[in-house]
Amino acid sequence: MDGSCLNGRVLVVTLLLSIAASLVESQGTRVGFYSSTCPRAESIVRSTVQSHFRSDPTVAPGLLRMHFHDCFVQGCDASILIDGPNTEKTAPPNLLLRGYEVIDDAKTQLEAACPGVVSCADILALAARDSVVLTSGATWAVPTGRRDGRVSRASDAANLPGFRDSVDVQKQKFAAKGLNTQDLVALVGGHTIGTTACQFFRYRLYNFTTTRNGADPSTNAAFVSQLQALCPENGDGSRRIGLDTGSANRFDNSFFANLRDGRGILESDQKLWTDASTRTVVQRFLGIRGLLGLTFNVEFGRSMVKMSNIEVKTGTAGEIRKVCSGVN
């Protein structure tokens, strides 16, 4: 390769990185936003998440899911945290969210160190990243500078991605937030950690179809038997089952291997393999021969940055709440 070609490629890469940085800046966020106003902001959030994680590792997937649910409704503005009747946290998709106490704890410490400076929305974005790192995932730089929203309505949560959604519906919901198909697959890959309740997938095991004993034909037959033993047809619907069988506490790409093998728990997850438009992305995360590979940890971080800049509020469009879970 001659020098001019190499220099040209370097220029293109530099230009692309500059464009990406400017897009983030245009949203009003940047990496190191609190470097002068609250230098210990990120370390305080990190140590708080670590402390809670040591006593209860399930807060990690809880915080990651909470950030996702926050960003998809009214943007990443911590509106999911607001207490009160008919707020987002009272909506059916959000009733089982957990980890609020972690955000409140971090906020209390930050208010003592830097009163009125760090938003609840930024605390949640940082806590989600720290949760991935604590479960053996890769880190990424989190742009900060979000302000907190003032509006929280349960009705706005109706368009959250759902466990019965087709891939087309999932793509529509993600595209509406500026996220593409690769972002969709990467972010759903966050299900590599955490659990779900039998009530959200048991219908796939019984009377789903008139063939193969009524089970969802996209599910591995032997796996169906395992799940039926864990989730009997008339059993406890609240029983928790790992979303990434065999690796529910470790952030890795085994979630995608399970989809390939017909061992996805949620219907919407398994459809990422059965639908050709998303299967290729899953295969790239798995490093299937003949396809340009993608490193899941790296792409997940990139997609998280994109998601965390959805409809960010800045200036007078938001505020810095003194208490994250305050009454609306």
Binding residues for heme b: 191
Say if CB 49 and CB 106 are below 8 A apart. yes
Q: Is 239 left (phi over 0), alpha (psi -120 to 50) or beta?
A: beta
Say if CB 181 and CB 280 are below 8 A apart. no
Nearest to 312 by CA among 21, 72, 29: 29
Rounded to an integer, what distance in angstroms lies between the CA atom of residue 59 and that of residue 134?
10
Q: What b/e readout covers 125-162, taking b as 16+ CB neighbours within 10 angstroms?
A: bbbbbbbbbbbebeebebbbbbbbbeebbbebbeebbb
Catalytic residues, by residue number, are 69
Rounded to an integer, what distance in angstroms lies between the CA atom of residue 173 and that of residue 278?
15
What are 58's two structure tokens? Answer: 């399930």
Nearest to 246 by CA among 256, 237, 254, 238: 254
Annotated binding site for Ca(2+): which residue ranges? 70, 73, 75, 77, 79, 88, 192, 244, 252
Rounded to an integer, what distance in angstroms lies between the CA atom of residue 191 and that of residue 186?
10
Say if CB 121 and CB 6 are below 8 A apart. no
Rounded to an integer, what distance in angstroms lies between the CA atom of residue 104 and that of residue 213?
47
Annotated binding site: which residue ranges? 70, 73, 75, 77, 79, 88, 161, 191-192, 244, 252
Annotated binding site for substrate: which residue ranges? 161
